[in-house]
Structure 1
């Protein structure tokens, strides 16, 4: 059998770049075959990211289609995958299914495989899970590739290793995937069912990332709601120098006149300081410090920094930013957008002159770019070019572009491309240089301080003339100070104080929420967990944060008002009920700690972690009803399916009070003790215990309970008893388990004692 190497890239663009490199490097011919590219004995094909997903609970067992506490926790004995389905159509994408079929066919004829998933745990997972699912039986090697320029590919190609070398990444990603499924399915069902027991009708989803993100929004809203403004005063002196300047009061931190937050709250004290300074009429320079500094250009964008930038400056939502950036990538005028990195491989500096030249030619009529591309010095190499800081994907930067490509963009796409291009061009301008001066003064035995900053060379700050850029710089403030020396006595022209009222924290915008998710360690008090979250860049990933926020909007947990995110009543109620260990980001930190261990020990670490999750979930589903005791949560605009009345009756099992409840099939009594959950029949307004169903099979009309339904051949026959309000109270009969199902699955077949 002749050698046939199948290379499976994570995405088509990477496959095409590698195919071109193989052809150029080894002098091979290239032929496109639709689902793959033939380069000599290499068949270079691709996935579309995650093409598989975990199956749903009811696909393991039809009983799980109906939500019931009796099923929890749902824990698959053997995990199964299926082709990923479109959430809107409920069906797999036809193009992806065709690619999956083609890959399986290529695998059948391959003598070896080279995996080219992204160089991280998710890239390893989507590659390995596909190969396992497709039944790969040939040796697999791994190409660990962080960028697709020729130099990076050549270096990675020489370092190809057996896939087993990277198995730790697979097991840690699999552990995270399975744990997220277990927590989401069981937590969501437990919370929803607990609320429904009390008359609620909202679906209450839980998620390792979603729930702490909602908590950030809710806690911020509570801060704002309970905020009490405080007035405080800051005395100042106005010096009659050339140029004139103001110096602010600079008390010692331990000054008894300050409150615990370091603020002066007593106006009389402020008035006294001002009067004394006016009377003194002079101030003595106690110290002068001047330092030179450099301000490097801002780094190229990661997805989250691009989302934050566009949200703050133009009000573009985070999901829209991802959509436009993805479109630019697909049109081959910008690099891959789902990246958490703001750095570039050193090897890509060689492409800079071509990229800048194309931007200069194509964007000559764009006012926002102006002549910056023509002024850029591509011999400069900013701090952005640093191999050590490049992760699975490098920063988002432009690719060579033509005028016709820019003309074909929508206005929003062009705006996003322009901001990406501007940030890239800044890497080829010199650093700004400045001089900071700090002057300490004494007037009327009180200390005052002023700090000034003057740019001696503006460098990259003059690359663009955008009014928005100028406004941001002016907002930062700069003070020009006179030349003074220690011991100089300066004349005080005036003195006064600034009165300031503290303001509540601002609500999150979509951009600032993404930033908060990325820097969630700031909201954690435990030093160890804080360090883990800081090192692993918060909760969620660049690819998922926008989707998480979108899910919160979709579930009606949050709403958008004038670009500000506010929690709905439902969102607040949920966070109020959940204990801290569920709403805090600590779980992500603890899981990440476990993931790091799994990467080192492999499958054993995965098995130990999932075993611990199973044990925890078993206890969790028992605790959830206690959290929701007496609490029901309603979806906006949706009526409850239950009517609940308090009653004087007591539960014969635990002694707790009983509620009288009207459900779909009439009135019944339900115990208010969430740990008991016993229900009773309502007979003339009084609770009556339900007769226990026989444990052994019952035969009625020649059919046995538990047998397959003779009509639909899908459900099973279940023993039922007529209620007290029926024509034949207490009478037993058999009916299909799909009797109360909806749609095509419904089967109303029943068997009575006198029927055959």
Structure 2
């Protein structure tokens, strides 16, 4: 008997439909006509054991016990899913071949693998286990995956990476949460001070932005505009570009802070002759944007519909599991394998059937266009989020489900539109040895941007001018009629919103202080993973560390004081982002599990010694011990 173990019941149902009929539904599994069986997990059936499983004394939180580091790690069944684990254990003993049908990521890999190992599968069964990779829950796609099973041992590095992540989270989160909570108690704070490798740096981003806003002092800066006339009396304007000699009078963003310098430039150019030193006219093209991964879809939904990251993820899960209208949503990829070129007609037909709005967009699509997203080299365990070939939802789509579906569909349809084309013209004018640049952009063809009218309207209004530049050539003499001083003021950074916070997390290298780590992280996925970011942000709200005011995300007093008190290594993203890089190295076998864990343990001991000397005196005094007891029972050491 071949036993398929799916990550969740919905995937098990889809998988069983690809097996020989008739199907027999049993208690906790589905049996196919050929004797093969499909069973399922319900998320993680196992969890890391609590500290008191290793030693009874750890029930009490005591600083002298830290760090708690298990010598032999233990998993324990979750109470609410123990029955299903018993079913799987019995089926594993009866099976000849086991198939891991977890989600196509490291979490899905370890989720099923740890059950197989925990339930006592023989070494032979483990060695011969197979892997079923399903990223599209429609019948044809599932059938294809069932007929194309891979050796499960090929994905062991992915499972090892997930195992390393889970144990490192336990070590770091549990020990630091206990220590910070106990240190807080010394100062009169009776709540839990939860610390996590991802949650704490995310909180720090929000707190530090709040501090930057409060401490911001607006400063004036200056621009000079030259009003110029050609020999044919055609007028145009040029903006002064300061030379390297002006850098002492400029800020980091190359803005001139010296008014006297700007006035001096105006005095020098008023009424002076100038000369054209460069004329450039380039026809430029912008290709359609890449397809969505989860983060980019969450950012788009936040901007367009003001949806939170969790809302978007939950809707995506419904579209994937219940309606089977989109592919696997927790993807970090924005490309498709070339074999998907064969599905274009089926997918676009389905889009037209599901959404009348999308059907209209397809009217001008050219399905023969092959965009940059069809790239095998860019596709890993999963591909971009796209509509499936299913042409009907299971039931009626809610308004929000339709919104997200149409976002995904539009991004796919855009791949079959021509490029956005525009003419970029520049004139460089020398006046009294100063450089003045004039720019003009003219739209030649909207191309794919015709599908995004509201999203690009404001941006293009600023970039594309209706004022035409004169016809001139290099060497032409011109006259500067006068210079104008433009005074502006620097503006404070804006509070994070759902969209900008997600953007910060996916581009975390901007916030990393260590130059070597910053360089290494330029091409990584950022802080956290596609699958975890939404949940961790939601966790910060639940723990009272952040609140939302309108669209803006602000820290609470507790959140602010916690970050202010913590050492920089805990609150900055450097360490966490480096973990992500190392975990990826484990999955590609370029780093060992033991080397990673040894590094985590060594750093943990240093941090504990440092935090022991910190006083959390700035935290508000609380006496709600009922809340304290309730929270200490929760697994507060998660990410």
Q: In the alignment, is residue 43 of structure 1 matched against residue 43 of structure 2?
A: no
Q: In the alignment, is residue 387 of structure 1 matched against residue 376 of structure 2?
A: yes
Which residue of the partner structure matches residue 180 of structure 1? 169
| Coordinate RMSD, CA, aligned | 3.2
- Given the alignment, which residue of 363, 367, 375 partners 1:378? 367
Cα distance in 1 for residues equivalent to 2:491 and 2:43: 45
- Given the alignment, which residue of 92, 109, 125 partners 2:110? 125
Q: Is the 8 A contact 1:214 1:571 kept in 2?
A: yes
Q: Is the 8 A contact 1:201 1:634 kept in 2?
A: no
Q: In the alignment, is residue 334 of structure 1 matched against residue 326 of structure 2?
A: yes
List alignment gaps of at least 5 residues for structure 2: 634-639
Q: CA deviation at 1:6?
A: 1.5
Q: In the alignment, is residue 524 of structure 1 matched against residue 515 of structure 2?
A: no
1:502-541 alignment runs, 5 A limit: 502-541=490-529
Which residue of the partner structure matches residue 318 of structure 1? 309
Q: Is the 8 A contact 1:201 1:633 kept in 2?
A: no
Q: Is the 8 A contact 1:429 1:463 kept in 2?
A: no
1:441–1:379 CA distance, 2 compared to 1 (3 A): same
- Given the alignment, which residue of 93, 97, 103 partners 1:112? 97
Q: CA deviation at 1:40?
A: 3.0
Cα distance in 2 for residues equivalent to 1:65 and 1:384: 53
- Given the alignment, which residue of 566, 576, 583 partners 2:554? 566
Q: CA deviation at 1:611?
A: 4.8
Q: Is the 8 A contact 1:236 1:249 kept in 2?
A: yes
Q: Is the 8 A contact 1:113 1:141 kept in 2?
A: yes
- Given the alignment, which residue of 7, 24, 48 partners 1:54? 48
Q: Is the 8 A contact 1:360 1:374 kept in 2?
A: no
Q: CA deviation at 1:440?
A: 0.4
1:114-513 alignment runs, 5 A limit: 114-137=99-122, 138-139=125-126, 140-143=128-131, 145=133, 147-148=135-136, 160-161=150-151, 163-240=152-229, 245-255=236-246, 258-261=249-252, 262-280=254-272, 283-329=274-320, 330-364=322-356, 366=357, 369=358, 371-400=360-389, 402=391, 408-463=396-451, 466-478=453-465, 480-490=468-478, 492=480, 495-513=483-501
1:243–1:159 CA distance, 2 compared to 1 (3 A): farther
Q: Could you say what secondary structure the match of 1:254 adopts?
A: helix
Q: In the alignment, is residue 74 of structure 1 matched against residue 68 of structure 2?
A: yes
Cα distance in 2 for residues equivalent to 1:415 and 1:130: 37
- Given the alignment, which residue of 552, 567, 581 partners 2:540? 552
Q: CA deviation at 1:576?
A: 1.6
Give the number of the structure with larger relative contact order, counting CA–CA contacts within 8 Å between residues 6 or more apart. Answer: 2
Q: Could you say what secondary structure the match of 1:381 adopts?
A: coil
TM-superposition CA deviations, 1:251-299 (whole Å, max 9, x none): 212236733543333334433433544422x542111122232201111
Q: Is the 8 A contact 1:199 1:640 kept in 2?
A: no
Cα distance in 2 for residues equivalent to 1:565 and 1:344: 34
1:557–1:279 CA distance, 2 compared to 1 (3 A): same
1:327–1:510 CA distance, 2 compared to 1 (3 A): same
Q: Is the 8 A contact 1:202 1:633 kept in 2?
A: no
TM-superposition CA deviations, 1:147-177 (whole Å, max 9, x none): 458689869966733x444333322321221
Cα distance in 1 for residues equivalent to 2:270 and 2:146: 72
Cα distance in 2 for residues equivalent to 1:640 and 1:463: 54
Cα distance in 2 for residues equivalent to 1:434 and 1:8: 53
Per the normalisation by structure 1, the TM-score is 0.74
TM-superposition CA deviations, 1:522-567 (whole Å, max 9, x none): 1123233224433431121111111111111112222212211222
Q: CA deviation at 1:41?
A: 4.8
Q: Is the 8 A contact 2:328 2:385 kept in 1?
A: yes
Q: CA deviation at 1:502?
A: 0.7
Q: CA deviation at 1:248?
A: 0.5
Q: CA deviation at 1:111?
A: 0.9
Q: Could you say what secondary structure the match of 1:399 adopts?
A: coil
Q: Is the 8 A contact 1:118 1:145 kept in 2?
A: yes
Larger gyration radius, structure 1 or structure 2:
1
Q: CA deviation at 1:473?
A: 2.9
TM-superposition CA deviations, 1:408-428 (whole Å, max 9, x none): 222222222221221111111
Q: More helix per residue: 1 or 2?
A: 2
Q: Could you say what secondary structure the match of 1:534 adopts?
A: coil
Q: CA deviation at 1:146?
A: 6.6
Cα distance in 2 for residues equivalent to 1:541 and 1:404: 29
Cα distance in 1 for residues equivalent to 2:408 and 2:586: 37
Q: CA deviation at 1:209?
A: 0.7
Q: Could you say what secondary structure the match of 2:245 adopts?
A: coil
Q: CA deviation at 1:307?
A: 1.3
Q: Which moves more between the two structures, 124-133 or 257-266?
A: 257-266
Q: CA deviation at 1:569?
A: 1.9
Which residue of the partner structure matches residue 713 of structure 1? none
Q: CA deviation at 1:618?
A: 4.5
1:80–1:413 CA distance, 2 compared to 1 (3 A): same
Which residue of the partner structure matches residue 731 of structure 1? none
Q: CA deviation at 1:106?
A: 2.1
Q: Which moves more between the two structures, 471-480 or 317-326?
A: 471-480
Q: Is the 8 A contact 1:250 1:449 kept in 2?
A: yes
List alignment gaps of at least 5 residues for structure 1: 85-90, 642-740, 746-756
Which residue of the partner structure matches residue 748 of structure 1? none
Q: Is the 8 A contact 2:353 2:359 kept in 1?
A: no
Q: Which moves more between the two structures, 208-217 or 473-482?
A: 473-482
Which residue of the partner structure matches residue 711 of structure 1? none
